[in-house]
Amino acid sequence: ETGVTQTPRHLVMGMTNKKSLKCEQHLGHNAMYWYKQSAKKPLELMFVYSLEERVENNSVPSRFSPECPNSSHLFLHLHTLQPEDSALYLCASSQGFGGSKTQYFGPGTRLLVL
Amino acid sequence: KQEVTQIPAALSVPEGENLVLNCSFTDSAIYNLQWFRQDPGKGLTSLLLIQSSQREQTSGRLNASLDKSSGRSTLYIAASQPGDSATYLCAAKNNAGNMLTFGGGTRLMVKP
């Protein structure tokens, strides 16, 4: 596969469940991002990892826990979520961090919290 | 804090029309501004990126302009086609780091 892939594409979970979203980039990039896209709000940056170190945490609740084990993989661990966390979660990657580095986006995971 | 607004939220036009999508931002200290396209159930595809020192960028039937002083960018689509139907998002990158601030998007429908 090429580009940025995300699994699963769709996820339904209860508020007491624990699940993880996975993102993989095949572009040789070294920066990765998690975004949240809700139905009624603009796309919001959640986390940024550059060279496997978290460089940005945009005031995200602790029930969202990111993990970047290497430059190609990014996870978002979810636990005790709320219905308002239902959204499309998009992953992106870029070569380098800062400046005019274009971000390439994955197709997203559509999450529904019941 | 940067805020980005897109008007209109939705637009429906007949095929062949030229159209303009608007994007405004509150903090003019931007590094660049980018336009993306999002198809239903898919991620974002970058269309055009305008550096702060540039006034416009063109790609095929698309032309994006940037006026930093007034905090505005426009995306012009010439001779629209049904395949142009999608949500168009603009995003501003401020001078620090690689954070993008997105607008709410304009959902475009081009009718055959």
**Mean pLDDT in chain B?**
93
Q: What is the pLDDT of residue B8?
A: 92
- pLDDT tens digits for B62-93? 999 999 999 999 999 999 999 999 999 999 99
Q: Which residues of A touch B43 (CB under 8 A)?
A: 4, 6, 90, 92, 105-108
Q: Does A60 touch chain B (CB under 8 A)?
A: no
Residue of B nearest to A9 (CA): B41
Nearest chain B CA: its distance from A72 CA (Å): 18
What percent of chain A lies above the pLDDT cut of 90? 68
- pLDDT tens digits for A11-22? 999 988 899 999
Q: Which residues of B touch A41 (CB under 8 A)?
A: 104
Q: Are A31 and B85 in contact (CB under 8 A)?
A: no
Cis peptide bond prior to B82, omega within 30° of 0? no
Q: Which residues of A touch B32 (CB under 8 A)?
A: 100
Q: Are B66 and B35 in contact (CB under 8 A)?
A: no
Q: Does A1 touch chain B (CB under 8 A)?
A: no
Nearest-CA neighbor of B16 among B79, B110, B92?
B79
Q: Which of A43, A48, A108 is opposite residue B98, by nearest beta carbon?
A: A48
Dihedral angle over CA of B86, A75, A86, A90, nearest 10: -10
- pLDDT tens digits for B11-67? 999 999 999 999 999 998 898 999 999 998 788 999 999 999 999 999 999 999 999
Q: What is the pLDDT of residue B85?
A: 97
CB A98 to CB B97 under 8 A?
A: yes
List, for chain A, all residue ranges whose pLDDT scores fall below the cut of 50: none
Cis peptide bond prior to B8, omega within 30° of 0? yes
Nearest chain A CA: its distance from B20 CA (Å): 20
CB B34 to CB A97 under 8 A?
A: no
Q: Which residues of A touch B104 (CB under 8 A)?
A: 41-42
Residue A98 tokens read as 């800062």
Amino acid present at B96:
A
Residue B44 exposure: Cα atoms within 13 Å on the Cβ side: 28
Q: Give the rounded distance of the alpha carbon of B100 from its chain centre.
A: 13
Distances (CA, A) of A113 to A15, A19, A43, B15, B24: 6, 11, 19, 39, 33
